[in-house]
Structure 1
Protein backbone atom coordinates (compact mmCIF):
# COMPACT_ATOMS: atom_id res chain seq x y z
CA UNK A 1 0.00 0.00 0.00
CA UNK A 2 1.30 3.46 -0.92
CA UNK A 3 1.06 6.23 1.63
CA UNK A 4 1.82 9.81 0.51
CA UNK A 5 4.14 12.10 2.41
CA UNK A 6 2.70 15.06 4.24
CA UNK A 7 1.39 17.89 2.05
CA UNK A 8 3.28 21.15 2.49
CA UNK A 9 2.19 24.09 0.30
CA UNK A 10 5.50 25.92 0.91
CA UNK A 11 7.70 23.22 -0.65
CA UNK A 12 9.28 24.49 -3.92
CA UNK A 13 8.73 22.46 -7.07
CA UNK A 14 12.29 21.08 -7.21
CA UNK A 15 12.12 19.95 -3.59
CA UNK A 16 8.70 18.38 -4.25
CA UNK A 17 10.14 16.41 -7.18
CA UNK A 18 13.09 15.15 -5.13
CA UNK A 19 10.92 14.06 -2.24
CA UNK A 20 8.36 12.45 -4.53
CA UNK A 21 11.00 10.45 -6.43
CA UNK A 22 12.65 9.39 -3.19
CA UNK A 23 9.35 8.12 -1.87
CA UNK A 24 8.53 6.48 -5.19
CA UNK A 25 11.87 4.69 -5.25
CA UNK A 26 11.20 3.35 -1.78
CA UNK A 27 7.90 1.85 -2.92
CA UNK A 28 9.32 0.76 -6.32
CA UNK A 29 6.82 2.75 -8.40
CA UNK A 30 9.14 5.14 -10.29
CA UNK A 31 8.20 3.41 -13.55
CA UNK A 32 4.78 5.07 -13.23
CA UNK A 33 6.21 8.60 -13.53
CA UNK A 34 9.31 8.18 -15.75
CA UNK A 35 7.44 7.83 -19.06
CA UNK A 36 7.46 4.07 -19.47
CA UNK A 37 4.51 2.71 -21.41
CA UNK A 38 1.78 0.95 -19.58
CA UNK A 39 1.25 -2.73 -20.44
CA UNK A 40 -1.29 -3.79 -23.00
CA UNK A 41 -4.77 -4.70 -21.88
CA UNK A 42 -4.08 -8.30 -22.86
CA UNK A 43 -1.03 -8.43 -20.61
CA UNK A 44 -1.41 -10.48 -17.44
CA UNK A 45 -0.01 -7.60 -15.34
CA UNK A 46 -2.38 -4.97 -16.74
CA UNK A 47 -4.90 -5.04 -13.88
CA UNK A 48 -2.20 -4.90 -11.23
CA UNK A 49 -0.46 -2.04 -13.05
CA UNK A 50 -3.69 -0.03 -13.24
CA UNK A 51 -4.34 -0.52 -9.55
CA UNK A 52 -0.86 0.67 -8.56
CA UNK A 53 -1.02 3.57 -11.02
CA UNK A 54 -4.28 4.74 -9.45
CA UNK A 55 -2.53 4.85 -6.05
CA UNK A 56 0.37 6.90 -7.50
CA UNK A 57 -2.07 9.28 -9.21
CA UNK A 58 -3.93 9.77 -5.95
CA UNK A 59 -0.59 10.32 -4.28
CA UNK A 60 0.27 13.13 -6.75
CA UNK A 61 -3.08 14.86 -6.32
CA UNK A 62 -2.88 14.51 -2.55
CA UNK A 63 0.40 16.45 -2.33
CA UNK A 64 -0.79 19.50 -4.31
CA UNK A 65 -2.44 22.59 -2.86
CA UNK A 66 -5.99 23.39 -3.91
CA UNK A 67 -5.03 26.07 -6.45
CA UNK A 68 -2.60 23.85 -8.36
CA UNK A 69 -4.86 20.80 -8.06
CA UNK A 70 -7.69 22.60 -9.86
CA UNK A 71 -5.36 23.24 -12.82
CA UNK A 72 -4.00 19.73 -13.28
CA UNK A 73 -6.93 17.54 -12.19
CA UNK A 74 -8.55 15.54 -15.02
CA UNK A 75 -11.21 12.87 -14.94
CA UNK A 76 -9.34 10.31 -17.06
CA UNK A 77 -5.60 10.29 -16.53
CA UNK A 78 -2.69 8.10 -15.58
CA UNK A 79 0.00 9.07 -13.08
CA UNK A 80 2.62 10.00 -15.70
CA UNK A 81 0.24 12.38 -17.52
CA UNK A 82 -0.55 14.16 -14.25
CA UNK A 83 3.18 14.30 -13.49
CA UNK A 84 3.84 16.08 -16.81
CA UNK A 85 1.00 18.56 -16.26
CA UNK A 86 2.45 19.54 -12.89
CA UNK A 87 5.88 20.03 -14.45
CA UNK A 88 4.50 22.16 -17.28
CA UNK A 89 2.63 24.35 -14.82
CA UNK A 90 5.93 25.33 -13.21
CA UNK A 91 8.10 25.40 -16.33
CA UNK A 92 5.75 27.47 -18.51
CA UNK A 93 6.01 31.28 -18.32
CA UNK A 94 9.36 31.03 -16.58
CA UNK A 95 10.22 34.62 -17.45
CA UNK A 96 7.18 36.06 -15.69
CA UNK A 97 7.71 33.83 -12.67
CA UNK A 98 11.37 34.78 -12.48
CA UNK A 99 10.55 38.50 -12.58
CA UNK A 100 7.97 38.15 -9.80
CA UNK A 101 10.35 36.16 -7.61
CA UNK A 102 13.20 38.63 -8.24
CA UNK A 103 11.01 41.48 -7.07
CA UNK A 104 10.02 39.59 -3.94
CA UNK A 105 13.64 38.65 -3.25
CA UNK A 106 14.95 42.22 -3.55
CA UNK A 107 12.20 43.84 -1.47
CA UNK A 108 12.16 41.40 1.46
CA UNK A 109 13.06 43.07 4.77
CA UNK A 110 13.54 41.77 8.29
CA UNK A 111 11.04 44.25 9.73
CA UNK A 112 8.27 42.67 7.64
CA UNK A 113 8.97 39.19 9.04
CA UNK A 114 7.97 37.77 12.45
CA UNK A 115 11.54 36.78 13.37
CA UNK A 116 15.13 36.62 12.13
CA UNK A 117 14.81 32.88 11.57
CA UNK A 118 11.72 33.36 9.40
CA UNK A 119 13.52 36.09 7.42
CA UNK A 120 16.49 33.83 6.62
CA UNK A 121 14.23 30.90 5.74
CA UNK A 122 12.08 32.98 3.40
CA UNK A 123 15.14 34.24 1.51
CA UNK A 124 16.37 30.68 1.09
CA UNK A 125 13.00 29.48 -0.23
CA UNK A 126 12.85 32.27 -2.81
CA UNK A 127 16.33 31.37 -4.03
CA UNK A 128 15.27 27.73 -4.50
CA UNK A 129 12.23 28.84 -6.51
CA UNK A 130 14.40 31.11 -8.67
CA UNK A 131 16.62 28.14 -9.44
CA UNK A 132 13.57 26.17 -10.58
CA UNK A 133 12.89 28.81 -13.28
CA UNK A 134 16.53 28.96 -14.42
CA UNK A 135 17.29 32.21 -12.54
CA UNK A 136 19.81 30.91 -10.02
CA UNK A 137 21.16 33.24 -7.32
CA UNK A 138 24.76 32.94 -6.16
CA UNK A 139 25.53 32.45 -2.48
CA UNK A 140 27.41 35.76 -2.38
CA UNK A 141 24.42 37.68 -3.71
CA UNK A 142 22.19 35.92 -1.22
CA UNK A 143 24.43 37.04 1.65
CA UNK A 144 24.48 40.63 0.41
CA UNK A 145 20.69 40.68 0.18
CA UNK A 146 20.49 39.17 3.65
CA UNK A 147 22.41 42.03 5.28
CA UNK A 148 20.72 44.66 3.08
CA UNK A 149 17.35 43.88 4.61
CA UNK A 150 18.46 43.96 8.25
CA UNK A 151 17.46 46.57 10.83
CA UNK A 152 19.95 49.12 12.28
CA UNK A 153 20.36 47.00 15.41
CA UNK A 154 22.61 44.64 13.43
CA UNK A 155 24.90 47.32 11.94
CA UNK A 156 28.05 46.02 13.67
CA UNK A 157 27.53 42.44 12.50
CA UNK A 158 26.45 43.68 9.06
CA UNK A 159 29.73 45.55 8.61
CA UNK A 160 31.73 42.45 9.51
CA UNK A 161 29.73 40.23 7.13
CA UNK A 162 30.21 42.72 4.27
CA UNK A 163 33.96 42.62 4.83
CA UNK A 164 34.38 38.85 5.15
CA UNK A 165 31.49 37.62 2.92
CA UNK A 166 30.95 34.26 4.67
CA UNK A 167 28.57 31.60 3.41
CA UNK A 168 24.85 32.15 3.84
CA UNK A 169 24.64 29.54 6.61
CA UNK A 170 27.53 31.13 8.55
CA UNK A 171 26.09 34.61 8.10
CA UNK A 172 22.75 33.47 9.54
CA UNK A 173 24.57 31.89 12.51
CA UNK A 174 26.43 35.13 13.19
CA UNK A 175 23.19 37.10 13.16
CA UNK A 176 21.53 34.62 15.51
CA UNK A 177 24.41 34.96 17.98
CA UNK A 178 24.11 38.74 17.81
CA UNK A 179 20.38 38.48 18.45
CA UNK A 180 20.99 36.34 21.55
CA UNK A 181 23.62 38.78 22.80
CA UNK A 182 21.22 41.69 22.48
CA UNK A 183 18.44 39.74 24.19
CA UNK A 184 20.65 38.83 27.16
CA UNK A 185 21.81 42.45 27.48
CA UNK A 186 18.24 43.75 27.59
CA UNK A 187 17.13 41.35 30.31
CA UNK A 188 16.61 43.14 33.69
CA UNK A 189 19.04 42.27 36.49
CA UNK A 190 17.28 40.69 39.47
CA UNK A 191 19.05 40.95 42.85
CA UNK A 192 17.82 38.98 45.85
CA UNK A 193 18.46 40.64 49.23
CA UNK A 194 18.02 38.64 52.44
CA UNK A 195 15.97 40.44 55.15
CA UNK A 196 17.89 41.69 58.21
CA UNK A 197 15.54 39.93 60.62
CA UNK A 198 12.77 37.42 60.14
CA UNK A 199 9.26 38.77 60.09
CA UNK A 200 6.75 36.91 62.23
CA UNK A 201 3.13 37.23 61.33
CA UNK A 202 0.56 37.12 64.14
CA UNK A 203 -3.14 36.52 64.03
CA UNK A 204 -3.95 38.94 66.87
CA UNK A 205 -3.06 36.73 69.82
CA UNK A 206 0.30 37.57 71.38
CA UNK A 207 1.65 35.38 74.14
CA UNK A 208 2.83 37.44 77.06
CA UNK A 209 6.60 37.60 77.37
CA UNK A 210 8.22 36.75 80.72
CA UNK A 211 11.50 38.00 82.06
CA UNK A 212 12.69 34.47 82.84
CA UNK A 213 11.98 30.92 81.87
CA UNK A 214 9.90 30.35 85.04
CA UNK A 215 6.43 31.88 85.33
CA UNK A 216 6.08 34.76 87.83
CA UNK A 217 4.90 33.92 91.33
CA UNK A 218 2.12 35.94 92.86
CA UNK A 219 2.83 37.11 96.40
CA UNK A 220 0.40 36.94 99.23
CA UNK A 221 -0.25 39.69 101.69
CA UNK A 222 2.36 38.21 104.02
CA UNK A 223 5.05 38.36 101.40
CA UNK A 224 5.20 34.60 100.86
CA UNK A 225 4.87 33.17 97.43
CA UNK A 226 1.65 31.60 96.31
CA UNK A 227 3.50 28.30 95.95
CA UNK A 228 3.50 27.76 99.70
CA UNK A 229 0.08 29.21 100.36
CA UNK A 230 -1.64 27.18 97.66
CA UNK A 231 -1.87 24.23 100.05
CA UNK A 232 -4.01 26.07 102.55
CA UNK A 233 -6.20 27.59 99.88
CA UNK A 234 -7.06 24.21 98.43
CA UNK A 235 -7.42 22.53 101.77
CA UNK A 236 -10.45 20.29 101.99
CA UNK A 237 -10.69 19.84 98.21
CA UNK A 238 -8.94 17.36 95.92
CA UNK A 239 -9.86 19.29 92.74
CA UNK A 240 -7.02 21.12 91.00
CA UNK A 241 -7.19 24.85 90.86
CA UNK A 242 -8.01 26.27 87.43
CA UNK A 243 -7.27 29.78 86.35
CA UNK A 244 -8.56 31.37 83.16
CA UNK A 245 -5.72 32.59 80.88
CA UNK A 246 -5.36 36.29 80.43
CA UNK A 247 -5.61 37.53 76.85
CA UNK A 248 -3.75 40.43 75.28
CA UNK A 249 -5.12 41.56 71.93
CA UNK A 250 -3.17 43.73 69.58
Structure 2
Protein backbone atom coordinates (compact mmCIF):
# COMPACT_ATOMS: atom_id res chain seq x y z
CA UNK A 1 0.00 0.00 0.00
CA UNK A 2 1.34 3.37 -1.00
CA UNK A 3 1.63 6.15 1.57
CA UNK A 4 -0.29 9.07 0.07
CA UNK A 5 0.29 12.32 2.00
CA UNK A 6 -2.69 13.94 0.24
CA UNK A 7 -5.05 11.51 1.92
CA UNK A 8 -3.56 12.02 5.41
CA UNK A 9 -5.89 13.55 7.95
CA UNK A 10 -4.56 16.87 9.13
CA UNK A 11 -5.86 17.84 12.56
CA UNK A 12 -7.76 21.12 12.73
CA UNK A 13 -5.88 23.56 14.93
CA UNK A 14 -7.61 24.47 18.17
CA UNK A 15 -8.89 28.06 18.02
CA UNK A 16 -7.10 30.57 20.21
CA UNK A 17 -9.05 31.64 23.30
CA UNK A 18 -10.29 35.27 22.98
CA UNK A 19 -8.38 36.27 26.13
CA UNK A 20 -5.13 36.08 24.16
CA UNK A 21 -6.25 38.85 21.78
CA UNK A 22 -6.21 41.57 24.46
CA UNK A 23 -3.04 43.62 24.36
CA UNK A 24 -3.75 46.71 26.47
CA UNK A 25 -6.38 46.07 29.14
CA UNK A 26 -6.27 49.72 30.26
CA UNK A 27 -7.73 50.70 26.87
CA UNK A 28 -10.81 48.66 27.75
CA UNK A 29 -11.11 48.92 31.54
CA UNK A 30 -10.08 52.18 33.15
CA UNK A 31 -7.83 52.17 36.21
CA UNK A 32 -9.64 51.97 39.54
CA UNK A 33 -8.38 54.89 41.59
CA UNK A 34 -11.39 55.53 43.81
CA UNK A 35 -11.75 59.09 42.52
CA UNK A 36 -12.16 59.28 38.74
CA UNK A 37 -13.21 55.63 38.55
CA UNK A 38 -15.20 54.24 41.46
CA UNK A 39 -15.23 50.61 42.52
CA UNK A 40 -18.79 49.99 41.31
CA UNK A 41 -18.03 51.53 37.90
CA UNK A 42 -14.81 49.52 37.64
CA UNK A 43 -16.65 46.29 38.51
CA UNK A 44 -19.24 46.92 35.79
CA UNK A 45 -16.54 47.65 33.19
CA UNK A 46 -14.42 44.68 34.24
CA UNK A 47 -17.34 42.22 34.28
CA UNK A 48 -18.46 43.45 30.86
CA UNK A 49 -14.96 42.93 29.51
CA UNK A 50 -14.63 39.52 31.20
CA UNK A 51 -17.92 38.41 29.69
CA UNK A 52 -16.94 39.57 26.19
CA UNK A 53 -13.63 37.71 26.36
CA UNK A 54 -15.15 34.56 27.88
CA UNK A 55 -13.39 34.71 31.26
CA UNK A 56 -16.24 35.73 33.58
CA UNK A 57 -15.97 32.31 35.24
CA UNK A 58 -12.58 33.37 36.63
CA UNK A 59 -14.18 36.06 38.83
CA UNK A 60 -17.76 34.91 39.47
CA UNK A 61 -17.06 32.16 41.98
CA UNK A 62 -16.94 29.28 39.50
CA UNK A 63 -14.73 26.51 40.82
CA UNK A 64 -11.56 25.92 38.75
CA UNK A 65 -10.98 22.49 37.22
CA UNK A 66 -9.08 20.00 39.35
CA UNK A 67 -5.31 20.01 38.88
CA UNK A 68 -5.64 16.50 37.45
CA UNK A 69 -8.13 17.73 34.81
CA UNK A 70 -6.57 17.94 31.31
CA UNK A 71 -7.96 21.49 30.95
CA UNK A 72 -6.30 22.74 34.15
CA UNK A 73 -3.07 23.95 32.53
CA UNK A 74 -4.96 26.04 29.97
CA UNK A 75 -7.33 27.33 32.68
CA UNK A 76 -4.36 28.28 34.86
CA UNK A 77 -2.69 30.30 32.09
CA UNK A 78 -5.93 32.13 31.28
CA UNK A 79 -6.50 32.77 35.00
CA UNK A 80 -3.02 34.31 35.26
CA UNK A 81 -3.96 36.69 32.42
CA UNK A 82 -7.20 37.67 34.18
CA UNK A 83 -5.19 38.24 37.36
CA UNK A 84 -2.86 40.49 35.34
CA UNK A 85 -5.92 42.36 34.03
CA UNK A 86 -7.16 42.95 37.57
CA UNK A 87 -3.79 44.13 38.86
CA UNK A 88 -3.16 46.15 35.68
CA UNK A 89 -6.36 48.14 36.15
CA UNK A 90 -5.77 49.14 39.77
CA UNK A 91 -4.02 52.24 41.05
CA UNK A 92 -0.68 51.62 42.78
CA UNK A 93 -2.23 51.83 46.25
CA UNK A 94 -4.89 49.23 45.43
CA UNK A 95 -2.35 46.91 43.79
CA UNK A 96 -0.28 46.96 46.96
CA UNK A 97 -3.28 46.09 49.14
CA UNK A 98 -4.48 43.28 46.90
CA UNK A 99 -1.20 41.65 45.95
CA UNK A 100 0.03 41.27 49.52
CA UNK A 101 -2.96 39.04 50.29
CA UNK A 102 -3.09 37.02 47.07
CA UNK A 103 -1.00 33.89 46.68
CA UNK A 104 2.33 32.98 48.23
CA UNK A 105 5.91 32.85 47.04
CA UNK A 106 5.21 29.34 45.70
CA UNK A 107 1.80 30.11 44.16
CA UNK A 108 0.79 33.29 42.37
CA UNK A 109 -2.84 33.18 43.48
CA UNK A 110 -5.91 33.32 41.33
CA UNK A 111 -7.98 36.01 39.70
CA UNK A 112 -10.86 35.04 42.01
CA UNK A 113 -8.67 35.59 45.09
CA UNK A 114 -7.68 39.04 43.85
CA UNK A 115 -11.29 39.88 42.94
CA UNK A 116 -12.52 38.82 46.39
CA UNK A 117 -9.67 40.59 48.18
CA UNK A 118 -10.36 43.85 46.36
CA UNK A 119 -14.02 43.60 47.28
CA UNK A 120 -13.22 42.92 50.95
CA UNK A 121 -10.51 45.59 51.07
CA UNK A 122 -12.78 48.30 49.72
CA UNK A 123 -15.55 47.35 52.13
CA UNK A 124 -13.01 47.55 54.99
CA UNK A 125 -11.72 50.89 53.68
CA UNK A 126 -15.23 52.38 53.73
CA UNK A 127 -15.69 51.05 57.25
CA UNK A 128 -12.44 52.73 58.32
CA UNK A 129 -13.75 56.15 57.28
CA UNK A 130 -17.04 55.68 59.15
CA UNK A 131 -19.00 54.68 56.06
CA UNK A 132 -19.51 51.00 56.85
CA UNK A 133 -21.04 48.83 54.18
CA UNK A 134 -23.57 46.38 55.54
CA UNK A 135 -23.47 42.78 54.44
CA UNK A 136 -26.91 43.19 52.85
CA UNK A 137 -25.56 46.11 50.80
CA UNK A 138 -22.62 43.98 49.65
CA UNK A 139 -25.00 41.17 48.68
CA UNK A 140 -27.17 43.64 46.77
CA UNK A 141 -24.09 44.92 44.92
CA UNK A 142 -23.12 41.34 44.04
CA UNK A 143 -26.53 40.35 42.66
CA UNK A 144 -26.92 43.63 40.77
CA UNK A 145 -23.96 42.68 38.58
CA UNK A 146 -25.29 39.23 37.67
CA UNK A 147 -26.30 38.38 34.09
CA UNK A 148 -30.01 38.19 33.23
CA UNK A 149 -30.14 34.39 33.44
CA UNK A 150 -29.60 34.74 37.21
CA UNK A 151 -32.59 37.06 37.74
CA UNK A 152 -34.66 34.43 39.56
CA UNK A 153 -31.95 33.47 42.03
CA UNK A 154 -30.98 37.14 42.47
CA UNK A 155 -34.58 37.99 43.32
CA UNK A 156 -34.74 35.16 45.83
CA UNK A 157 -31.45 36.23 47.43
CA UNK A 158 -32.59 39.83 47.91
CA UNK A 159 -36.06 38.87 49.18
CA UNK A 160 -34.65 36.35 51.66
CA UNK A 161 -31.95 38.81 52.83
CA UNK A 162 -29.27 36.13 52.49
CA UNK A 163 -25.76 36.48 53.93
CA UNK A 164 -22.80 37.02 51.60
CA UNK A 165 -21.66 33.39 51.90
CA UNK A 166 -25.17 31.97 51.45
CA UNK A 167 -25.83 34.22 48.45
CA UNK A 168 -22.58 33.17 46.83
CA UNK A 169 -23.39 29.49 47.44
CA UNK A 170 -26.81 29.96 45.86
CA UNK A 171 -25.28 31.60 42.79
CA UNK A 172 -22.73 28.78 42.46
CA UNK A 173 -25.51 26.16 42.70
CA UNK A 174 -27.52 28.00 40.06
CA UNK A 175 -24.47 28.17 37.83
CA UNK A 176 -23.94 24.42 38.15
CA UNK A 177 -27.65 23.82 37.45
CA UNK A 178 -27.51 25.93 34.30
CA UNK A 179 -24.37 24.14 33.13
CA UNK A 180 -25.96 20.70 33.59
CA RMSD of aligned residues (A): 2.4
What count of residue pairs does the alignment treat as equivalent?
103
Tell me the equivalent position of 1:97: 129
- TM-score for both structures, normalised by structure 1: 0.38
Tell me the equivalent position of 2:161: none
Cα distance in 1 for partners of 2:90, 2:125 equals 20
Higher relative contact order (CA 8 A, sep 6+): 2
Tell me the equivalent position of 1:141: none
Tell me the equivalent position of 2:10: none
Per-residue displacement from partner, 1:54-101 (whole Å, max 9, x unpaired)? 1000000000111111111044210000000000011125344355xx
Q: CA deviation at 1:14?
A: 0.3
| Gaps in structure 1 of 5+ consecutive residues | 100-129, 135-250
- TM-score for both structures, normalised by structure 2: 0.51
| Gaps in structure 2 of 5+ consecutive residues | 1-19, 138-180
Tell me the equivalent position of 1:81: 113
Tell me the equivalent position of 1:248: none
Cα distance in 2 for partners of 1:43, 1:95 equals 41
Contact kept, 8 Å, 2:32 with 2:89, in 1: the verdict is: yes
Cα distance in 2 for partners of 1:85, 1:55 equals 17
Q: Identify which of 35, 39, 50 aligns with 1:13.
A: 39
1:67 aligns with 2:93: yes
Q: CA deviation at 1:11?
A: 0.4
- In structure 2, relative to structure 1, the CA distance for the partners of 1:98 and 1:26 (3 Å cut) is farther
Q: Identify which of 68, 80, 84 aligns with 1:54.
A: 80
- Indicate the structure (1 or 2) with the bigger Cα radius of gyration: 1
Secondary structure, counterpart of 2:129 in structure 1: helix
Considering fraction of residues, name the structure with more helix. Answer: 2
